Chain A
Amino acid sequence: MSTVANTIFSPELAARFDHLVTIYPLSRSALVPMLLYAQDEIGYVSDAAVAEIAQRLDLVELEVRNVLSYYSMLRTKPAGKYNVQVCTNISCMLRGGYKILDHCKETLGIGHKQTTPDGVFSLEEVECIGACCWAPAMQINYDFHEDLTPEKVDVLFQMYRDGQGKDVK
């Protein structure tokens, strides 16, 4: 049983949050992880998620929103089921990162921070993701894909469409 009566989260996540708020010297330390884990489950940080997280941490909603707006991975609107994040920072740029980004734009028919009409993919140009030695690199949701070529990207997209992407559960 969750400590919040009308939780909007799955029983597993609610239980995880119940635990998370108890482990730190100050419960508020759970805020950033909670926002991210809520987003992982719902697809974005919804108003209801903000309200519940505020309640769980005994914070005012404004306070939660203030933190939420700081972190680039957190979003308040849905993205595609698979969020494609292409790095164009220096090491990737030198090895064709922009070409990969362009290819993604063309193939998916969408631009930066847009989602395909069927809701399957969204696209983002991102800063260095810590895969510089295996550039050009991107992440689809949390999965890293490295040493990319346009052909490799095509194969990857098809795999995700077919439900065979790395993290497809």
Chain B
Amino acid sequence: MPTLVSHPDEVKVISRRFGQGAADIEKYLELDGYKAVQRAIAEGPEWIINTMKASGLRGRGGAGFPTGMKWSFVPKVSEKPKYVLVNGDESEPGTCKDHVLFLHDPHSIIEGTMIAGLAIGSRLGFIYLRGEYRYLLKIVEKAVADAYAKGFLGKNIFGSGIDFDIITQTGAGAYEVGEESALMESLEGKRGVPRIKPPFPAVVGLYGGPTVINNAETIANAPHILLMGGEAYAKLGTERNGGTRLFGISGHVERPGVYELPMGYSLRKAIYEVAGGIKDGKKLKAVVPGGSSCPVLTADEIDVGLDFDQMGKAGTMLGSGGIVVLDETVSIVEFALRVISFYQHESCGWCIPCREGTDWIKKTLTRVHAGGGSKKDIDNVQYLAENMMGRTFCPLGDAAAMPTLGFVKKFRKEFEEYIDGKRVDTPLITIDQLVGAH
């Protein structure tokens, strides 16, 4: 069981029921559960969407798209049924926040799904969990069954005359399926290959119907926002970055864990105060601030606020909220190699820049890491990554290229040291392991 952590600087909105047994529907009801959805029924779709817009909530899946706006894009009238799709594929390396949410507060996700459904006029929602999260799927399945047993789901929810159903779904292992259109393909029983956009899911999504797809944490925020009010939620964060978010701090820190911090909270404080500083009194070398696809920050670039805009200005991304901390002993070359190995492994192979680019970068970095690289290799890696950017079918290509560029640009010296035969870091892993890894 993941250990729950806590720090005085946390602002607990979405995590306020963690550790209180709220997976049990009675407990959830005691803790204001299913009140927001009843309010939503009473007030109607326009109020829901306006409240969500006022909250400044932005998607917690990685891209940070404003949620209220996303919901408002769904056409009011549609011949085809509309759907709500909850993305619980959580596979971005360094990210484990939805894990904790599914475990401790599954009903908030169910209630959020209902609210999204009411907002867009959908009668069916799906909650999709990655295949590895079987024990969490069971928790969610039980929560859904309990909600049906209470009459909260199904026909005529809360006497509204509106029907709403939820289907839970398991994946079966594939990072790429976390991409929204690939997720829809998977849910339709196909290979998880992304679709061409436009049309966007809000217009043509699951089964060809208008679909709202949101990350599990995004969805779980909805009931809290409706209860506390959009403005009150917005005020917890920074401009255009409303509220709080779950940050998973991992790697070389003293107290790794999932913490709920206000948007805009200092990255330095998150590492040194909330997570207790660098493990074993070592020095900080670098931070990957929002899952493995985010460009790295060096130790002197961490005086930045954790929101989408400030991180963007700092040349990186807030991403999935997975903050991975690297101490002075880490070899960036090795780390970069591990990151690109992942993307090479997960590339669906559909488009050439991504398929060939990831493979080529991995091969080159493997050589550099083994001490057989040449000066040209560094430029080659940079050239390859630059040419992947924006030239692929889905954002996985960018997700592989961006961190690679960050490592090569900010730690070029270290790559050169490998090439010159002057390795500076204690290797964490041996080369044969890396080559044999995939």
Residues of A within 8 A of B (CB): 23-26, 28-33, 35-36, 57, 66-67, 70-74, 88-91, 93-95, 98, 101-102, 111-112, 125, 127-135, 139, 142-144, 146-147
In angstroms, how far is the closest chain A Cβ from the Cβ of B44?
A: 26
Chain B residues, Cβ within 8 Å of A66: 191
User: Which one of A24, A89, A132, A133 has the highest number of Cβ atoms from chain B below 10 Å of its Cβ?
Assistant: A133
**21 A–B contact pairs at CB < 8 A?**
A26-B189, A28-B190, A29-B189, A32-B171, A36-B172, A70-B192, A71-B171, A71-B172, A72-B172, A89-B94, A90-B292, A94-B326, A98-B430, A111-B436, A130-B90, A130-B96, A131-B96, A131-B99, A132-B250, A135-B251, A142-B134
Residue B383 CB within 8 A of the other chain: no
Closest chain A residue to B186, Cβ basis: A32
Q: How far is the CB of B438 from chain A (nearest CB, A)?
A: 8
Most buried by A among B81, B134, B174: B134
In contact, A89 and B93 (Cβ under 8 angstroms) = yes
Residues of B51-103 at the interface with A, using a CB-CB cut-off of 8 Å, are 81, 90-96, 98-99
A37 CB, min distance to chain B CBs, angstroms = 8
By beta carbon, the residue of chain B nearest A37 is B170
A72 touching B133, Cβ below 8 Å: no
Q: In the complex, A102 Cα to B169 Cα: how many Å? A: 34
Q: Report whether A90 and B338 are in contact in the complex, using a CB–CB cutoff of 8 Å.
A: yes
In the bound complex, how far is the Cα of B348 from the Cα of A67, in angstroms? 13
Which residue on chain B has the smallest CB distance to residue A89? Answer: B93
> Is B342 on the interface with A (CB-CB < 8 A)?
yes
Q: Which residue of B81, B169, B189, B322 contacts A28 across the interface (Cβ within 8 Å)?
A: B189
Q: Is the CB of A35 within 8 A of B172?
A: yes
Q: Which of B302-359 contact A (CB under 8 A)?
A: 322, 324-326, 330, 335, 338-339, 342, 345-346
The residue from B94, B135, B191 contacting A70, defined by CB atoms under 8 A apart: B191
Residues of A within 8 A of B189 (CB): 26, 28-32, 57, 67
CB of B121 within 8 Å of the partner chain: no
A146's nearest neighbour on chain B, judged by CB, is: B2
By beta carbon, the residue of chain A nearest B88 is A130
B257 at the binding interface (Cβ < 8 Å): yes
Interface size on B (CB < 8 Å)?
A: 63
**Are A33 and B169 in touch, CB under 8 angstroms?**
yes
Q: Chain A contacts of B258 at CB under 8 A?
A: 133
| Residue B120 is within 8 A (CB to CB) of chain A in the complex | no
In the complex, the chain A residue whose C-beta lies closest to that of B247 is A133
B134 touches A132 (CB 8 A): no
Interface of A: prevailing SS? mixed
The interface stretch among B124-132, B217-225, B263-271, B365-373 is B124-132
Residues of A within 8 A of B135 (CB): 142-144
Q: Is B31 close to A, CB under 8 A? A: no
Of B188, B322, B346, which is within 8 A of A26 by CB?
Answer: B188
Nearest-neighbor residue (CB-CB) of B207 within chain A:
A25
With A23-B167, A32-B170, A89-B342 known to touch, is A94 a contact of B90 (CB < 8 Å)? Answer: no
A31 to B189, CA, bound (A): 5
Inside 8 A of B325's CB, which chain A residues have their CB? 94
- What 19 additional pairs, Cβ within 8 angstroms, besides A71-B174, A98-B428, A130-B96? A28-B188, A71-B172, A73-B132, A88-B429, A90-B335, A91-B256, A93-B429, A94-B250, A94-B330, A98-B433, A128-B94, A130-B132, A131-B96, A132-B256, A133-B249, A133-B258, A139-B132, A143-B135, A146-B2
Q: Which A residues are CB-close (under 8 A) to B92?
A: 128
B117 interface hit (Cβ, 8 Å): no
Q: Are A36 and B131 in contact (CB under 8 A)?
A: yes
A144 partner residues in chain B, CB cutoff 8 A: 1-2, 135
Q: Are A132 and B2 in contact (CB under 8 A)?
A: no
What 10 A-B pairs have minimum CB-CB distances, sorted nearest first? A73-B173, A31-B189, A72-B173, A71-B172, A28-B189, A142-B134, A91-B250, A128-B93, A70-B191, A132-B250
A91 to B2, CA, bound (A): 15
A98-B429 CB under 8 A given contacts A73-B172, A127-B342: yes
Give CA–CA (A93, B331) in the complex, Å: 12
Contact of B436 with A112 in the complex, beta carbons under 8 Å:
yes
